[in-house]
């Protein structure tokens, strides 16, 4: 069974050593001395838990942690705070964590508290188990929340083309790796282009959703496609990649050539239309995605119609 990743952030070497001794047989531990260098790892990996040493007075760590938890992409990441035995517990609206533990309790009940924190998070928040990205319930909530607030935003629906024959030909392990890389690539580019307010979800299979400000979505989509087309050929055996296709059977059992996996993205927005339900929004994005699929290779198509669709 693969061990879950736990990021530990502490400048206290003794505390880090204690956590290491308590948890290393059950989890893969990634220690950092402060939260700044840990962010790159968190953005790229989405660990199973964040353990943060709050024994010192460190407003930067508190603010960074709150910003991370306030981001809809990362608010499902569970955080366990460690406090000194004499420290006063802060008001919980000023520190966005799921649980806390006193330093003196780590050796006795650290493993149980970590397990409980992760299990609680998995019960409360649904995430796609492969990519760790928010799933359908979170996606629908995000869209509806923005509609109810009256936000103007863009909803992009990405889908891999020719993924099934790739998955059948090379096996689900390589297919899963391709899906994970696609999700991570979308996450990184959306996060980089819109550090605050963006959202990425994994509908399931090879389908992804991302939400951005309208003025940012086209450049982000172009960058996602460019990066995807650069990375995807590396998943093929060299001969297949050089030929630009694989030869395998289609759904009817007939031998057929399938081009390399590409990415089609459909984009809907509400700058010219009014939606009251998330289903109306996703329907337009799905429609534009189908339109993008008529194009050979990776591309995005954005709804440019005026008025109600």
Q: What is the pLDDT of residues 65-96, one digit of tens each?
A: 998 888 877 877 899 999 988 777 788 778 88
Lowest mean per-residue pLDDT among 97-101, 155-159, 229-233, 286-290: 97-101
Looking at residue 163, its pLDDT comes to: 94
Tokens of residue 75, six digits: 């608010």
Cα distance from N-terminal residue to C-terminal residue, the chain: 48
Query: For the CA atoms of 108, 109, 112, 114, what is the dihedral angle to 10 degrees?
Result: -120
- What mean pLDDT is reported for the chain? 90
- Distance separating alpha carbons of residues 31 and 68, to the nearest angstrom: 18
Q: Is residue 309 very low, low, confident or very high in pLDDT (cuts 50, 70, 90)?
A: very low
Lowest mean per-residue pLDDT among 52-56, 232-236, 263-267: 52-56
- Candidates 290, 157, 297; CA nearest to 230 is 297
Q: Is residue 125 very low, low, confident or very high in pLDDT (cuts 50, 70, 90)?
A: low
pLDDT at 219 over 70: yes
Q: Phi and psi dihedrals of 127, rounded to 5?
A: -130, 155
Helix segments in the chain, DSSP class H = 13-23, 35-45, 59-70, 106-124, 136-149, 163-170, 172-193, 214-231, 238-243, 278-293
Looking at residue 255, its pLDDT comes to: 84
Looking at residue 290, its pLDDT comes to: 95
- Stated pTM of the model: 0.69
CB atoms closer than 10 angstroms to residue 124: 10
- Distance separating alpha carbons of residues 135 and 126, to the nearest angstrom: 6
Q: Is residue 196 very low, low, confident or very high in pLDDT (cuts 50, 70, 90)?
A: confident
**Left, alpha or beta for 190 (phi > 0: left; psi -120 to 50: alpha)?**
alpha
Lowest mean per-residue pLDDT among 95-99, 186-190, 281-285: 95-99
Average pLDDT over residues 188-198: 92
Looking at residue 123, its pLDDT comes to: 65
Q: Indicate the burial class of 49 (C-beta count within 10 angstroms; 0-12, 13-18, 19 or more).
A: buried
Looking at residue 261, its pLDDT comes to: 96
- Distance separating alpha carbons of residues 80 and 73, to the nearest angstrom: 18
Average pLDDT over residues 218-232: 97
Looking at residue 306, its pLDDT comes to: 63
**Left, alpha or beta for 29 (phi > 0: left; psi -120 to 50: alpha)?**
beta
- Distance separating alpha carbons of residues 262 and 229, to the nearest angstrom: 7
CB atoms closer than 10 angstroms to residue 55: 19
- Distance separating alpha carbons of residues 174 and 92, to the nearest angstrom: 43
- Distance separating alpha carbons of residues 37 and 24, to the nearest angstrom: 21
What percent of the chain is modeled with pLDDT above 70? 97
What percent of the chain is modeled with pLDDT above 90? 63
Q: Are 105 and 99 in contact (CB under 8 A)?
A: no
pLDDT at 167 over 50: yes
What Rg do the C-alpha atoms of the chain give, in angstroms? Answer: 22
- Candidates 136, 99, 90; CA nearest to 120 is 99
Looking at residue 2, its pLDDT comes to: 66
Average pLDDT over residues 28-56: 90
């Amino acid at each position: 069974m693969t061990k879950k990743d736990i990021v530990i952030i502490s400048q206290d070497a003794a505390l880090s050593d204690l956590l290491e001794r308590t948890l290393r047989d059950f989890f893969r531990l990634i220690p950092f001395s402060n939260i700044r260098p840990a962010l790159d790892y968190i953005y790229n990996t989405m660990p199973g838990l964040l353990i943060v040493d709050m024994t010192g007075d460190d407003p930067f760590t508190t603010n960074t942690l709150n910003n991370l938890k306030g981001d809809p992409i990362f608010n499902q990441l569970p955080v366990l705070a460690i406090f000194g035995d004499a420290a006063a517990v802060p008001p919980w609206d000023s520190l966005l964590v799921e649980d806390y533990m006193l330093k003196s309790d780590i050796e006795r009940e650290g493993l149980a508290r970590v397990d409980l924190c992760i299990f609680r998070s998995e019960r409360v928040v649904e995430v796609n188990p492969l990519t760790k990205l928010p799933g359908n319930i979170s996606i629908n909530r995000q869209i509806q929340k923005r509609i109810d607030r009256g936000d103007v935003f863009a909803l992009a629906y990405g889908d891999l083309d020719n993924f099934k024959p790739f998955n059948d030909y090379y096996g689900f392990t390589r297919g899963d790796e391709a899906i994970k890389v696609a999700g991570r690539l979308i996450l990184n580019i959306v996060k980089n282009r819109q550090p605050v307010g963006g959202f990425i979800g994994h509908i399931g299979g090879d389908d992804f959703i991302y939400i951005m400000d309208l003025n940012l979505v086209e450049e982000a989509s172009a960058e996602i496609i460019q990066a995807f087309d650069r990375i995807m050929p590396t998943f093929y055996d060299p001969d297949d990649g050089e030929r630009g296709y694989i030869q395998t059977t289609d759904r009817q059992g007939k031998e057929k050539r399938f081009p390399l996996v590409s990415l089609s993205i459909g984009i809907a927005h509400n700058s010219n239309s009014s939606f009251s339900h998330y289903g109306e929004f996703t329907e337009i994005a799905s429609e534009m995605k189908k339109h993008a699929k008529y194009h050979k290779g990776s591309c995005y198509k954005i709804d440019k119609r005026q008025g109600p669709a």
